[in-house]
Amino acid sequence: MPTTEPIVLGHLSLNHAEIAGIISQYGVHTSTQDNGTEHARFTVQVEEQGFDGKVRTIYLDIDAWGKVAAALDGCTAGTPVLVEGKLARTQRGKKDAKDPVWTTTVQATRVQRLEDDTPITPKTEAQSHSLTGL
C-alpha cells in the first residue's frame, strides 16, 4: 500500500535562483504549445566581478511558461530584468535523438522588468570575450 508520508532527504535541499541583468542581444523568443500554453526563452546577460577584480560577462538561459511568459510581452534586447526561479536540466534538439543535448537553465517563476525605461545595449558574446580576456 502506498504511503502518504513525506520523503525526508536527511539534509537541506534548496533550488532557488535570483538573477538580475539585461536581456541579451537575441531578445525573447516566444511560442505557444499545442495545448495553448505560452513559452518564452531568452538569455540574461550578467556582469560580475571576479576575485581577481576583472569584470566578466556570463549568459544564463531562461525558460518561462504560462503567465510568466506572457508577462515578457514588450521586453526586448537590453531590457533590465530580475528573474526568480529554479535551476533545471532541459533537453535541447530532437527528443528522440540518440545522444540528447542537455543544458542547465533557469525555469522562471517570476520575471520583473526593472524600472529603468532606457534599454541597455547588450554586448555581443564576442565583445564580452575580448573585454574580459576569455
> Structural domain tally of the chain?
1
Q: pLDDT-based confidence at 130, cuts 50/70/90? A: very low
CA distances from residue 73 to 21, 38, 41, 65, 113 in whole angstroms, order as listed:
17, 11, 12, 13, 10
- Whether residue 6 is contained in a domain is answered as no
Computed over every residue of the chain, the mean pLDDT equals 84
The tens digit of pLDDT for each residue in 66-111 reads 999 998 988 999 999 999 999 999 887 777 777 888 899 999 999 9
SS3 39: strand
- Whether residue 75 is contained in a domain is answered as yes
Give the helix/strand (H/E) hosting 108: strand 101-113
Count the alpha carbons within 13 Å of 118 in the hemisphere toward its beta carbon: 2
Measure CA of the first residue to CA of the last residue in the chain; give whole Å: 56
pTM metric for this prediction: 0.75
- Whether residue 105 is contained in a domain is answered as yes
Grid coordinates of 79: 531590457
Which of 28, 24, 29 lies closest to 58, judged by CA? 24
Check which CATH number belongs to the domain holding 75 and give it: 2.40.50.140
